[in-house]
Structure 1
Amino acid sequence: MAAFPGFSDKEAEFLRANHSAAMITVTADGVAKPARVGVVLVDGRLWSSGTRDRVRTKRLRRDPRCTLFVFGAQFPWLGIEAAVTILDGDDAPELNVRLFREMQGRPQGPLSWFGGELDEDRFRAKMVEEGRLVYQFEPQRTYGMV
Protein backbone atom coordinates (compact mmCIF):
# COMPACT_ATOMS: atom_id res chain seq x y z
CA MET A 1 0.00 0.00 0.00
CA ALA A 2 1.31 3.48 -0.87
CA ALA A 3 2.26 5.86 1.93
CA PHE A 4 -0.43 8.23 0.65
CA PRO A 5 -3.79 6.45 0.19
CA GLY A 6 -5.16 6.91 -3.31
CA PHE A 7 -1.87 8.19 -4.77
CA SER A 8 1.01 6.36 -6.40
CA ASP A 9 4.49 7.14 -5.11
CA LYS A 10 5.11 9.23 -8.25
CA GLU A 11 1.88 11.20 -7.71
CA ALA A 12 2.74 11.77 -4.03
CA GLU A 13 6.19 13.01 -5.04
CA PHE A 14 4.54 15.44 -7.50
CA LEU A 15 2.12 16.66 -4.80
CA ARG A 16 4.96 17.22 -2.32
CA ALA A 17 6.63 19.52 -4.87
CA ASN A 18 3.55 21.28 -6.31
CA HIS A 19 0.92 23.10 -4.28
CA SER A 20 -0.95 25.18 -6.91
CA ALA A 21 -4.29 23.82 -8.03
CA ALA A 22 -7.68 24.61 -9.45
CA MET A 23 -10.57 23.15 -7.46
CA ILE A 24 -13.69 22.56 -9.53
CA THR A 25 -17.05 22.23 -7.80
CA VAL A 26 -20.47 22.04 -9.44
CA THR A 27 -23.50 24.28 -8.94
CA ALA A 28 -26.95 22.81 -8.25
CA ASP A 29 -27.78 23.22 -11.95
CA GLY A 30 -24.59 21.44 -13.09
CA VAL A 31 -22.26 24.32 -14.00
CA ALA A 32 -18.58 23.65 -13.22
CA LYS A 33 -16.98 26.45 -11.16
CA PRO A 34 -13.19 26.65 -10.71
CA ALA A 35 -11.28 28.37 -7.90
CA ARG A 36 -7.54 28.63 -7.46
CA VAL A 37 -6.38 26.92 -4.25
CA GLY A 38 -3.26 25.64 -2.56
CA VAL A 39 -3.01 21.94 -1.73
CA VAL A 40 -0.57 20.04 0.46
CA LEU A 41 -0.04 16.53 1.81
CA VAL A 42 -0.38 16.42 5.61
CA ASP A 43 0.01 13.10 7.42
CA GLY A 44 -0.74 11.17 4.24
CA ARG A 45 -3.86 13.18 3.31
CA LEU A 46 -4.34 15.91 0.72
CA TRP A 47 -5.66 19.11 2.31
CA SER A 48 -6.62 22.64 1.33
CA SER A 49 -7.85 25.56 3.42
CA GLY A 50 -11.16 27.36 2.98
CA THR A 51 -13.73 29.27 4.99
CA ARG A 52 -17.25 28.52 6.21
CA ASP A 53 -18.79 31.26 4.07
CA ARG A 54 -17.11 30.44 0.74
CA VAL A 55 -19.44 29.48 -2.07
CA ARG A 56 -17.42 26.34 -2.78
CA THR A 57 -17.89 25.24 0.85
CA LYS A 58 -21.67 25.55 0.40
CA ARG A 59 -21.47 23.56 -2.85
CA LEU A 60 -19.40 20.84 -1.16
CA ARG A 61 -21.90 20.56 1.70
CA ARG A 62 -24.57 19.89 -0.94
CA ASP A 63 -22.39 17.60 -3.09
CA PRO A 64 -18.98 16.54 -1.70
CA ARG A 65 -17.50 15.70 -5.10
CA CYS A 66 -14.89 17.87 -6.78
CA THR A 67 -12.06 17.70 -9.26
CA LEU A 68 -8.61 19.13 -8.62
CA PHE A 69 -6.19 20.14 -11.34
CA VAL A 70 -2.74 20.37 -9.74
CA PHE A 71 -0.16 22.00 -11.96
CA GLY A 72 3.60 22.11 -11.88
CA ALA A 73 6.22 24.12 -13.71
CA GLN A 74 6.11 23.68 -17.48
CA PHE A 75 3.79 20.80 -18.43
CA PRO A 76 3.40 18.24 -15.60
CA TRP A 77 -0.09 18.09 -14.11
CA LEU A 78 -2.29 15.82 -12.04
CA GLY A 79 -6.07 15.50 -12.17
CA ILE A 80 -7.77 14.22 -9.03
CA GLU A 81 -11.44 13.30 -8.83
CA ALA A 82 -12.24 13.30 -5.12
CA ALA A 83 -14.83 13.24 -2.39
CA VAL A 84 -14.28 16.05 0.11
CA THR A 85 -14.64 15.85 3.86
CA ILE A 86 -14.94 19.27 5.49
CA LEU A 87 -12.94 19.42 8.73
CA ASP A 88 -14.57 22.29 10.61
CA GLY A 89 -14.63 21.18 14.24
CA ASP A 90 -13.03 22.88 17.22
CA ASP A 91 -9.64 21.64 16.00
CA ALA A 92 -9.90 23.48 12.63
CA PRO A 93 -7.54 26.32 13.67
CA GLU A 94 -4.87 23.80 14.71
CA LEU A 95 -5.39 21.80 11.50
CA ASN A 96 -4.80 25.02 9.54
CA VAL A 97 -1.57 25.59 11.48
CA ARG A 98 -0.41 22.11 10.42
CA LEU A 99 -1.51 22.71 6.82
CA PHE A 100 0.26 26.07 6.49
CA ARG A 101 3.41 24.86 8.29
CA GLU A 102 3.67 22.06 5.73
CA MET A 103 2.83 24.29 2.75
CA GLN A 104 5.28 27.00 3.80
CA GLY A 105 7.99 24.54 4.87
CA ARG A 106 8.15 26.11 8.34
CA PRO A 107 8.10 23.43 11.06
CA GLN A 108 8.35 26.16 13.71
CA GLY A 109 8.39 29.92 14.12
CA PRO A 110 6.06 32.50 12.57
CA LEU A 111 3.78 31.78 9.63
CA SER A 112 3.26 34.04 6.61
CA TRP A 113 -0.21 35.48 6.16
CA PHE A 114 -1.08 37.97 3.41
CA GLY A 115 2.34 39.63 3.32
CA GLY A 116 2.94 39.59 7.08
CA GLU A 117 4.27 37.25 9.70
CA LEU A 118 2.13 35.93 12.57
CA ASP A 119 3.27 33.95 15.59
CA GLU A 120 1.38 30.71 16.08
CA ASP A 121 -1.13 32.10 18.63
CA ARG A 122 -1.98 35.08 16.41
CA PHE A 123 -2.20 32.77 13.39
CA ARG A 124 -4.69 30.50 15.24
CA ALA A 125 -6.73 33.55 16.26
CA LYS A 126 -6.80 34.69 12.61
CA MET A 127 -8.05 31.22 11.56
CA VAL A 128 -10.92 31.50 14.07
CA GLU A 129 -11.71 35.07 13.00
CA GLU A 130 -11.91 34.05 9.33
CA GLY A 131 -13.93 30.89 10.01
CA ARG A 132 -11.24 28.75 8.41
CA LEU A 133 -11.70 25.04 7.85
CA VAL A 134 -9.85 22.30 6.00
CA TYR A 135 -10.98 20.43 2.90
CA GLN A 136 -9.70 16.84 3.03
CA PHE A 137 -9.69 15.13 -0.37
CA GLU A 138 -10.33 11.40 -0.69
CA PRO A 139 -9.11 10.55 -4.21
CA GLN A 140 -11.45 8.37 -6.28
CA ARG A 141 -9.48 8.59 -9.55
CA THR A 142 -6.21 10.18 -10.62
CA TYR A 143 -4.69 10.85 -14.04
CA GLY A 144 -2.31 13.23 -15.73
CA MET A 145 1.29 13.73 -16.80
CA VAL A 146 3.54 13.38 -13.75
Structure 2
Amino acid sequence: MDDPVRAFLEANHGAIMTTLKKDGSPHVARVVIGLVEGKLWSSGTRKRVRTAHVRRDPRATLCVLSEDNPWAWLGLETTVTILEGPEAVDQNLALYRALAGEPEGLDEYRRAMTAEERLVYEFTIHKAYGMH
Protein backbone atom coordinates (compact mmCIF):
# COMPACT_ATOMS: atom_id res chain seq x y z
CA MET A 1 0.00 0.00 0.00
CA ASP A 2 1.60 3.27 -1.06
CA ASP A 3 1.54 6.44 1.03
CA PRO A 4 -1.27 8.26 -0.87
CA VAL A 5 -3.55 5.20 -0.57
CA ARG A 6 -2.72 4.82 3.13
CA ALA A 7 -3.38 8.52 3.76
CA PHE A 8 -6.75 8.33 2.00
CA LEU A 9 -7.74 5.24 4.03
CA GLU A 10 -6.64 6.87 7.29
CA ALA A 11 -8.87 9.88 6.56
CA ASN A 12 -11.93 8.13 5.07
CA HIS A 13 -13.87 5.23 6.53
CA GLY A 14 -17.05 4.96 4.47
CA ALA A 15 -17.06 2.49 1.60
CA ILE A 16 -19.20 0.40 -0.69
CA MET A 17 -18.20 -3.28 -0.67
CA THR A 18 -19.03 -5.28 -3.78
CA THR A 19 -19.04 -9.07 -3.59
CA LEU A 20 -20.11 -11.67 -6.13
CA LYS A 21 -23.34 -13.63 -5.90
CA LYS A 22 -23.46 -17.30 -6.86
CA ASP A 23 -24.60 -16.36 -10.39
CA GLY A 24 -21.67 -13.92 -10.75
CA SER A 25 -23.72 -10.75 -10.47
CA PRO A 26 -22.60 -8.03 -8.04
CA HIS A 27 -23.97 -7.45 -4.54
CA VAL A 28 -23.22 -4.12 -2.86
CA ALA A 29 -23.26 -3.14 0.80
CA ARG A 30 -22.38 0.03 2.68
CA VAL A 31 -19.54 -0.68 5.13
CA VAL A 32 -17.19 1.09 7.50
CA ILE A 33 -13.50 0.34 7.04
CA GLY A 34 -10.40 1.10 9.06
CA LEU A 35 -6.68 0.45 9.22
CA VAL A 36 -5.56 -1.64 12.18
CA GLU A 37 -1.80 -2.10 12.44
CA GLY A 38 -1.51 -1.48 8.70
CA LYS A 39 -4.23 -3.97 7.76
CA LEU A 40 -7.52 -2.92 6.17
CA TRP A 41 -10.49 -4.28 8.14
CA SER A 42 -14.28 -4.08 8.24
CA SER A 43 -16.70 -5.67 10.67
CA GLY A 44 -19.43 -8.12 9.70
CA THR A 45 -21.44 -10.99 11.09
CA ARG A 46 -21.60 -14.69 10.39
CA LYS A 47 -25.09 -14.36 8.85
CA ARG A 48 -24.51 -11.37 6.55
CA VAL A 49 -25.11 -12.00 2.86
CA ARG A 50 -21.67 -10.64 2.00
CA THR A 51 -20.09 -13.16 4.38
CA ALA A 52 -21.66 -16.03 2.44
CA HIS A 53 -20.46 -14.50 -0.82
CA VAL A 54 -16.88 -14.08 0.44
CA ARG A 55 -16.79 -17.64 1.79
CA ARG A 56 -17.63 -18.88 -1.71
CA ASP A 57 -15.49 -16.37 -3.65
CA PRO A 58 -13.06 -14.16 -1.69
CA ARG A 59 -12.84 -11.44 -4.34
CA ALA A 60 -14.31 -8.07 -3.39
CA THR A 61 -14.05 -4.50 -4.58
CA LEU A 62 -14.23 -1.50 -2.28
CA CYS A 63 -15.16 2.00 -3.37
CA VAL A 64 -13.97 4.25 -0.56
CA LEU A 65 -15.69 7.63 -0.51
CA SER A 66 -14.11 10.86 0.66
CA GLU A 67 -15.70 12.44 3.71
CA ASP A 68 -14.68 15.93 2.52
CA ASN A 69 -14.69 15.96 -1.28
CA PRO A 70 -17.66 14.56 -3.23
CA TRP A 71 -15.41 13.94 -6.25
CA ALA A 72 -12.64 12.04 -4.46
CA TRP A 73 -12.80 8.25 -4.24
CA LEU A 74 -10.54 5.23 -4.11
CA GLY A 75 -11.22 1.89 -5.80
CA LEU A 76 -9.61 -1.21 -4.29
CA GLU A 77 -9.58 -4.64 -5.89
CA THR A 78 -9.08 -7.10 -3.04
CA THR A 79 -9.36 -10.59 -1.72
CA VAL A 80 -10.95 -11.06 1.68
CA THR A 81 -9.89 -13.25 4.56
CA ILE A 82 -12.51 -13.78 7.26
CA LEU A 83 -11.14 -13.48 10.79
CA GLU A 84 -13.46 -15.24 13.21
CA GLY A 85 -13.57 -17.32 16.34
CA PRO A 86 -12.67 -16.29 19.89
CA GLU A 87 -10.18 -13.66 18.64
CA ALA A 88 -12.89 -11.83 16.67
CA VAL A 89 -14.15 -9.97 19.74
CA ASP A 90 -10.73 -8.41 20.37
CA GLN A 91 -10.23 -7.80 16.64
CA ASN A 92 -13.55 -5.93 16.47
CA LEU A 93 -12.51 -3.97 19.54
CA ALA A 94 -9.22 -3.01 17.85
CA LEU A 95 -11.17 -1.84 14.79
CA TYR A 96 -13.59 0.16 16.95
CA ARG A 97 -10.69 1.81 18.78
CA ALA A 98 -9.00 2.69 15.46
CA LEU A 99 -12.20 4.36 14.24
CA ALA A 100 -13.80 5.87 17.32
CA GLY A 101 -11.66 5.40 20.42
CA GLU A 102 -12.69 3.47 23.49
CA PRO A 103 -16.28 2.14 23.57
CA GLU A 104 -18.46 3.02 26.55
CA GLY A 105 -19.12 -0.09 28.61
CA LEU A 106 -16.34 -2.41 27.52
CA ASP A 107 -17.94 -5.53 29.00
CA GLU A 108 -21.24 -4.73 27.29
CA TYR A 109 -19.41 -4.17 24.00
CA ARG A 110 -17.71 -7.57 24.27
CA ARG A 111 -21.03 -9.28 25.05
CA ALA A 112 -22.65 -7.61 22.03
CA MET A 113 -19.83 -8.69 19.70
CA THR A 114 -20.26 -12.28 20.88
CA ALA A 115 -24.08 -12.23 20.67
CA GLU A 116 -24.00 -10.73 17.16
CA GLU A 117 -21.46 -13.35 16.02
CA ARG A 118 -19.16 -10.60 14.82
CA LEU A 119 -16.18 -11.28 12.60
CA VAL A 120 -13.70 -9.16 10.69
CA TYR A 121 -13.13 -8.96 6.95
CA GLU A 122 -9.43 -8.43 6.24
CA PHE A 123 -8.80 -7.02 2.77
CA THR A 124 -5.64 -7.81 0.82
CA ILE A 125 -5.29 -5.05 -1.76
CA HIS A 126 -4.22 -6.13 -5.23
CA LYS A 127 -4.93 -2.92 -7.14
CA ALA A 128 -5.76 0.65 -6.14
CA TYR A 129 -7.04 3.40 -8.43
CA GLY A 130 -9.34 6.40 -8.45
CA MET A 131 -9.46 10.12 -7.90
CA HIS A 132 -7.85 10.56 -4.50
Show the 5 A alignment for 1:1-146.
7-72=1-66, 73=68, 74-104=70-100, 106=101, 108=102, 111=103, 118-146=104-132
After TM superposition, where is structure 1 displaced by more than 6 Å over at least 4 residues in a row? none
Give the superposition deviation at 1:89.
1.9
Give the superposition deviation at 1:120.
1.2
Percent identity of paired positions between Structure 1 and Structure 2: 47
Give the superposition deviation at 1:102.
0.6
Counterpart CA distance in 1 for 2:127 and 2:87 is 29
Counterpart of 2:128 in 1: which secondary structure? strand
Counterpart of 2:122 in 1: which secondary structure? strand
TM-score by length of 2: 0.96
- Two-structure CA RMSD over aligned residues (Å): 0.8
Question: Letter of the aligned partner of 2:58 in structure 1?
Answer: P
Question: Letter of the aligned partner of 1:60 in structure 2?
Answer: V
Question: Letter of the aligned partner of 1:143 in structure 2?
Answer: Y
* Structure 1 unaligned spans of 5+: 1-6, 112-117
* Structure 2 unaligned spans of 5+: none
Question: Letter of the aligned partner of 1:31 in structure 2?
Answer: S
Q: How many residues align?
A: 130
TM-score by length of 1: 0.87
Give the superposition deviation at 1:121.
1.3
Give the superposition deviation at 1:75.
1.2
